[in-house]
Every structure is written in structure tokens, then in C-alpha cells.
Amino acid sequence: MSTYAAPLRDMQFVIKELVGLADITAMPACAEVSEDLVDAVLAEAAKFAAGILDPLNRVGDKQAPKLVDSTVITSPGFSQAYRQFVEAGWNGLSGEPEYGGQNLPHVVSMPVAEMWNSANLAFSLCPMLTSGVLQAMKLKGSPAQKHRFLRKLTTGQWSGTMNLTEPQAGSDLSAVRTRAVPQGDHYRLHGTKIFITWGEHDMAENIIHLVLARTPNAPEGVKGISLFIVPKFLVREDGSLGERNDVKCVSIEHKMGIHGSPTCVLQYGDGPGAVGFLVGEENRGLEYMFIMMNHARLGVGLEGVALAERAYQHALEYAKTRVQGRAIGQKSGDRVTIIHHPDVKRMLMMMKAQTEAMRALAYTASAALDKAAHHPDDTERRKNQAVVDFLIPIVKGWCTEQGVEVASTGVQIHGGMGFIEETGAAQYLRDARITTIYEGTTGIQASDLVGRKVGFEKGATAFAIIEVMRKLDGKLAVVKNGDVAAARDHLRRAVDGLTTATQWVVDTFPANPQAVAAVSVPFLKLWGVVGGGWLMARAALLANSKLAGADADFYRTKIATARFYAEHVLPQAAGLVRAVTGGSSSVLALGEDQF
Ligand SMILES: Cc1cc2nc3c(=O)[nH]c(=O)nc-3n(C[C@H](O)[C@H](O)[C@H](O)COP(=O)(O)OP(=O)(O)OC[C@H]3O[C@@H](n4cnc5c(N)ncnc54)[C@H](O)[C@@H]3O)c2cc1C
């Protein structure tokens, strides 16, 4: 069983050199963040991830939480680890200082979150959801609600959840039926929410649920949904905990993966109704919840990166120790470890290259998020917000789909032992499988991308990003390095294809949105593949300028990885472009009777 080691060097490269930490720290709101501080935070997080969370990953997988009298008893060691997590201040890393947070930018909190996810995805879902609740309440909570809830959510003494799903309302939230009836200064909620991650547990003193529900006479559909804060324990004026609210966990799911995280069915209002407090205005709940969902979508995309990294480390260790066969052409002599076989090398490099490309894309989105929040110039803020909005479905959709593929390759590298639970390779694949489903399936991300993000704005942000990709070509052209030149060649063709496919979506969407929907997932994957290729080529360009200095081995490997990505991943773009521009009619022609 391998031990997780955070990929600090690559993380630092992406943050500092590729994404540009200096641009973030130059903004007055982030002026207190220094490179030394970032290095220290990452190093400490790496220790916590490896020392505390990683050893519990298997424990959670094998000894899932149990429901005992409406209380969820978490896997052995989880509660203690959570206490250490909170005491060390990790929960409040990007929280507001006013509420006890450390206010670090996303470009720093994202690599830290990647470590938590790699080391123990099931555990890390708890702080991830709390952080989503914080985002939504920070922007939409009333001053009194902020005063009452934000401090303990920031420190992690209390955790948060997101309650959208009901049996009949999954991807389609317009079907939400939970009722909220006004009563004085609060509401009483009745209904059943399913699949609520960390909906009940014994790690935090209180749980703050953000719940979608309908008030009496609310309009039908998404325009009649409101958002409520429903605490597990009511909170008194002075912040102390009062009586237990009328919400309880009635069952927990048996799942394919992330066994360590309880997925709960929550019953609201078995008795008088759960006391809930309206966030913002009635009927605008989905709009508010999207703040949390967008945050969580980037977070789930990052889970794909993190599991890919973990699966890669695991497979690499196995490939270095498993002896099987001789090197090609050798009839005698010692048998070799499988890392010497070209196909195993190809698989390992496929895992590494895809993981690094995904990391580069996800961290690019996090830097844009910081600039959208803090840039002193309003135009820059708006430009960066458009980039974040555009990248969210791609990071969520592509990184999670790739995460599953990379984890599956990890199993393949283990041969038969990959299929046997004892090696641990299968857990990463099982855990990864949910990431393409929750927070909106890949199909839902793709429909967001082709509709709101490309179709409605006639490709404005998409073409602006393509323009930035094209500008890189001139810089790559003058580099005298065969590997970089090879990467440039593949990238140029892939960007041409991306332009063609994006134009097709822009042209087709207004008159035939069905045709666009039929090929929306290949379109999303195309953007992921080419976006990753663009950033890997930029990484190669940067690395090439540093070959003569310190750490030359890292930069040489980065260039080799970028070339591999260009030659083994970027060619997928051509097929995806053909599927987008020519594949919709074969989908639309299908009748139900043809299946
Ligand atoms: C382990 C786990 C944890 C979860 N945690 C939470 C949580 O904390 N809070 C919460 O509220 N929910 C949570 N969920 C619910 C999760 O977000 C939903 O399962 C997910 O959004 C999909 O909804 P569904 O399961 O109803 O599938 P459906 O909506 O029934 O979808 C089934 C299939 O149809 C496709 N489909 C449906 N509608 C469309 C469409 N319009 N266009 C194209 N394709 C479509 C989907 O892509 C999918 O392939 C969790 C689920 C699981 C399994």
C-alpha cells in the first residue's frame, strides 16, 4: 500500500510559475500573502494529509459510518482527525478574518484541498461542503444570520450541508416539494431530502443545513424555490446550542465508493416541522444555491485531479516493485519490474500527463476566481468572472471524467491485483465514480456549457480564451527545442479544431438546441482536452527557459510530459471535433424503439 506524498513541486510550479501567484499577491486584498507563507502552508498541509488523513482512507472504506438511533457514528479515527483538522485551523483557510478565517486566496486553498481529497476523499467532503455553505451565507445571509452562524462554520466547530435532492428531484430541481410554512420570524419545514453528504455525523457540535423548499403559494418550477438555514441544534441568541431541531437522519446509503462519508436520507418535520430561517428573499433560493453549487462544482472537479494523482502514485509504486517478464528482445537474464515495459511506461505517463494538465486547468480557474473577487479594476474583475463561469463546467465535467479514466488505468497497471481490493487501487476508481454524477452530472455540466456559457453569449468568452491560446503559438514558434516544437504542432491543429467546433455550437444553438445538446458532452471534453494541452504547452515553454538553472530535472520532465500529452492526448481533439460537428443527427434520428 503506497503512502500519499503531496506533489508539492508540481503544485508550486503551477501556482507560482504557470498561473502567476505574483499577480494574485499584487492585489491589495491579497498583499499579506507571500511566497514563503504559501510554501509553509503547503508543506504543513502535506504533512497533515499524509500523516493523519491518508492512513484513515482505507479505514473509512472498510468500516463505513453506522446509523444508531438517528445518530451517525463515523468511521474509527474520523472524529479525532476532524478535531485535529479544526484545531490546526485548516477549516478556516480561506474564511473571512472577521469570523476567524485566514483569508488565503483560492490559488492557495485549492492545492491544499487537492491534498485533502487525494489523501481521503470521503473525509474531505465534510469541510468542502462547509466551505460552500460559508460562500453562500457570506454573500446572501443577513447580518444577524452571519453573526449567528459564520464564526463556528468558519472554524469548523460546526459543519455545513447542501440539501437539494429529493426522490423525484435530482437533475431537475424544479420538482422540489419540501414545504416551508411561515411562522413568526421563521418557517417550519416538512419533507424528505435524499443523498445528503455528511447530513448527520458525530464529528462537529452542530450541522447547518442549507435547504431548498417551497413556501405556500410559491410559483411552480424553479422560480418558486426558496433557501433556508436549518440547524441540527437551534442556536440561542448568545450562540450556545439549544434544543434539537425537527430534522433527523432516517437512513444512510450503501454505496460503491466514498464509504467513509455518510450519505443520508434526512426527514424534515416528523413532528411540528423543522425550524428554518429564510436566506435572502423568497423564491430566489436556486439562484443563491448556485453560489454554493458553483463553488462545489470547482471543488468536485478538483476531486477528479486529486484521485488521479493518488491513483498515479499508487500505480507508480506498484510498477517499480512488481517483477514480470524480461525486457523486449531479452531471452535470458534477470526478469524486470513492469515499469520497464513500454506499454506500462505509456500508461504511467498517460496518468501523469492527464493529471498535470487537469491540475493546471483547475488552478487556472482558481486564480481567475481570486481576480474576479479582488482585482482593483472592475473590468478585470468582470473579465475574470466570465472566465470562471466558463471554466466551471469544464473543470467539473472533464476533470472528473478524466479522474475516472486515470483511476481505471491505475487498476490496469496492477493487472489482476488491481481488481483485488487488498491492493487499494480499486478504491480510487470506486471513489472517483461518483464525481461525474454529484453536483450535476457530466451531461448537466455540458448542457450548461453549450447553453449559458457559449450559446447565449454567442461564444464571446470562448473565443476570447481561444485567442489567448493562439497567442501562445508565436512564443512557441521561436523555441529551439524539438519537444516543444512537437507540442506546438499538435496544439495548433487542436486549437483550429476547437475554433471550428465552437463556431458550430454558436451557429447551431439558436435554431437547433437539440442538435447541440446531442453532442454537448464531446464538446465539453474537447474543451478539456485542448485547454489542458494549451496549459501543458505553456508549461513546456516556461520549463524550457529554466533548463540551465536549478531543478533542471523537474523542468526536463515537465517538457517530456507536455510532449507526451501533445502526442497521446491532444489527437483526441480531432475525433471530438468530428463528433461535435457531424454527430448530432445520428443521435437525434434515434427513436426509443431502436434501443
Ligand atoms: C454519494 C452521493 C452524494 C450526494 N450528495 C448530495 C448532497 O450532499 N446534496 C444533494 O442535494 N444531493 C446530493 N447528491 C445527489 C446528486 O447531486 C444527484 O444524484 C445528481 O445530481 C443526479 O441526480 P439523479 O441522481 O436524480 O439523476 P437523474 O437526474 O435522474 O439523472 C439520470 C441520468 O439522466 C441524465 N439527465 C437527467 N436530466 C438531464 C437533462 N436535462 N439533460 C441531459 N441529461 C439529463 C443524467 O445526466 C443522468 O445520466 C448525492 C448523490 C450521491 C450518489
457 is catalytic: no
Indicate the residue type of 142: S
Distance 210 CA to ligand 1 centre (A): 18
Task: Please give the pLDDT value at position 331.
Answer: 84
CB-defined site of ligand 1, < 6 Å: 162-165, 170-171, 195-197, 255, 263, 434, 437-441, 443-444, 447
Q: For residue 193, which atom of ligand 1 is closest to its CA? A: 11
What is the pLDDT, as a whole number, of residue 462?
98
Active-site hit among 220, 287, 439, 467: 439
State the cell numbers at 363. Answer: 488552478
**What does the pLDDT average to over 179-201?**
98
pLDDT tens digits, 275-333: 999 999 999 999 998 888 888 899 999 999 999 999 999 999 999 999 999 989 888 88
How far does the chain reach from its first CA to its final CA, in angstroms? Answer: 43
Please identify, by atom number, the ligand 1 atom nearest to the C-alpha of residue 258: 1
pLDDT at 479: 95
DSSP class of 337:
B
The values of phi and psi at residue 420, to 5°, are -95, 130
Helix/strand/coil for 463: helix
Per the prediction, the chain carries an average pLDDT of 96
Confidence of residue 26 (pLDDT cuts 50, 70, 90): very high
**How distant, in Å, are the alpha carbons of 106, 252, 278 from that of 19?**
12, 41, 39
pLDDT at 36: 95
Tell me the CA–centroid distance for residue 448 and ligand 1, in Å. 15
> In this predicted structure, what is the pLDDT of residue 486?
95
pLDDT tens, 234-272?
999 888 999 999 999 999 999 999 999 999 999 999 999
Measured in Å, residue 162 CA sits from the centre of ligand 1 at 13
Q: How do residues 432-449 score in pLDDT, each as one tens digit? A: 999 999 999 999 999 999
pLDDT, position 294: 83
pLDDT exceeds cutoff 90 at 127: yes
Q: Is the pLDDT of residue 340 over 80?
A: yes
pLDDT digits (tens, 9 = 90+) for 499-558: 999 999 999 999 999 999 999 999 999 999 999 999 999 999 999 999 999 999 999 999
Instruction: Please report how the helices 106-119 and 35-48 are oriented relative to each other, as an axis angle in degrees rounded to 10.
Output: 20
Q: Is the pTM of this model over 0.85?
A: yes
Reduce the DSSP state of residue 197 to 3 states and report it.
strand
Three-state secondary structure readout of 398-458: HHHHHHHHHHHHHHHHCCHHHHCHHHCHHHHHHHHHHHHCCCCCHHHHHHHHHHHHHHCCC
Tens of pLDDT along 50-63? 999 999 999 999 99
Bridge partners (DSSP) listed for residue 230 = 209
Helix residue ranges per DSSP H, 322-415: 342-374, 378-413
Give the position, in ligand 1's atom list, of the atom nearest the Cα of 125: 8
User: What is the per-residue pLDDT across 193-220, written as a single tens digit (0 to 9) for each?
Assistant: 999 999 999 999 999 999 999 999 999 9
Does residue 426 carry a pLDDT above 80?
yes
Give tens-digit pLDDT for 65-104.
999 998 999 999 999 999 999 999 999 999 999 999 999 9
Report CA(451)–ligand 1 centroid distance (Å).
19
Q: Distance between CA 33 and CA 39 in Å, rounded? A: 11
The protein residue with its alpha carbon nearest to ligand 1, atom 50, reads 195
What does the chain come to in residues? 595
Distance separating alpha carbons of residues 176 and 168, to the nearest angstrom = 7
**In this structure, are residues 506 and 458 in contact, taking their beta carbons and an 8 Å threshold?**
yes
What pLDDT, in 10s, does the model give residues 155-171?
Answer: 999 999 999 999 999 99
pLDDT grade for 190, boundaries at 50, 70 and 90: very high
Question: How many Å apart are CA 257 and CA 433, to the nearest integer?
Answer: 7
Please report where in the chains the cell 487488498 appears, as a residue.
422
Indicate whether 1 pLDDT > 80: no
